[in-house]
């Protein structure tokens, strides 16, 4: 699979900051207890899907999806993440790889929770890595 702009995998988006999570996101342990479920997609995920699959029209993108949750992900022998370089920004591609390699798990960056999976492999298309240079305007 790949990661979304909001740093999800399989539509495991950050949880809404409401109710019990109004002041802080769930702990990694809480988030990892989530199983397969129907989810409301994060606005950034909706925008990404409109850009990549909906011809730029957000109203053509379903607001919900079925996700394979962390419970099922942790049953996998190996998690393989593919970066084609066309649907993510250069910093985002590097951010989650860094967080995972350093063991920094934070449910606000769902992909980072894979830091605790025993076998995660990132695959990058070198031509799509891009640059993290800052442009002055």
Task: Quote the domain boundaries for residue 62.
Answer: 19-126
Any domain includes 54 = yes
Give me the CATH number covering residue 38. 3.40.50.1360
Mean pLDDT of 121-132: 79
pLDDT digits (tens, 9 = 90+) for 70-123: 999 999 999 998 877 666 677 888 888 899 999 999 999 999 999 999 999 988
- Residue whose C-alpha is closest to residue 8's, from 53, 45, 49: 45
Any domain includes 7 = no
Residues whose CB is less than 8 angstroms from the CB of residue 112 and which lie 6 or more positions away in sequence, other chains included: 7, 96, 99, 100, 104, 105, 106
Beta strand pairing call for 120-124 and 79-83? parallel
Q: Is the pLDDT of residue 15 over 80?
A: yes
pLDDT band at 23 (very low <50, low <70, confident <90, very high): very high
pTM of the model: 0.84
pLDDT at 88: 66
Distance, in Å, from the CA atom of 56 to the CA atom of 49, rounded to the nearest integer, reads: 8
pLDDT at 135: 75
pLDDT digits (tens, 9 = 90+) for 45-60: 999 889 888 899 999 9
Any domain includes 3 = no
Q: How far is CA 9 from CA 4, 57, 75, 93, 133, in A?
A: 7, 23, 15, 13, 26
Residues whose CB is less than 8 angstroms from the CB of residue 32 and which lie 6 or more positions away in sequence, other chains included: 70, 71, 74, 113, 116
pLDDT at 47: 92
Read off φ and ψ for residue 82, nearest 5 degrees: -115, 130
Any domain includes 116 = yes
Tally the domains of the chain.
Answer: 1
């Amino acid at each position: 699979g790949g990661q979304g702009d909001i740093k999800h995998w399989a539509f495991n988006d950050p949880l809404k900051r409401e109710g019990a999570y109004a002041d802080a996101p769930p702990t990694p342990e809480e988030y990892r207890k989530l199983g397969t479920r129907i989810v409301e997609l994060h606005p950034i995920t909706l925008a990404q899907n409109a850009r990549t699959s909906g011809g730029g029209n957000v109203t053509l993108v379903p607001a919900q999806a079925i996700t394979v949750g962390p419970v099922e992900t942790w049953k996998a022998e190996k998690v393989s993440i593919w970066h084609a370089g066309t649907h993510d920004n250069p910093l985002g591609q590097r951010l989650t790889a860094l967080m995972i390699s350093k063991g920094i798990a934070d449910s606000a960056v769902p992909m980072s929770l894979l830091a605790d999976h025993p076998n995660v492999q990132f695959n990058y298309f070198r031509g799509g890595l891009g640059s993290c240079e800052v442009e002055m305007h």
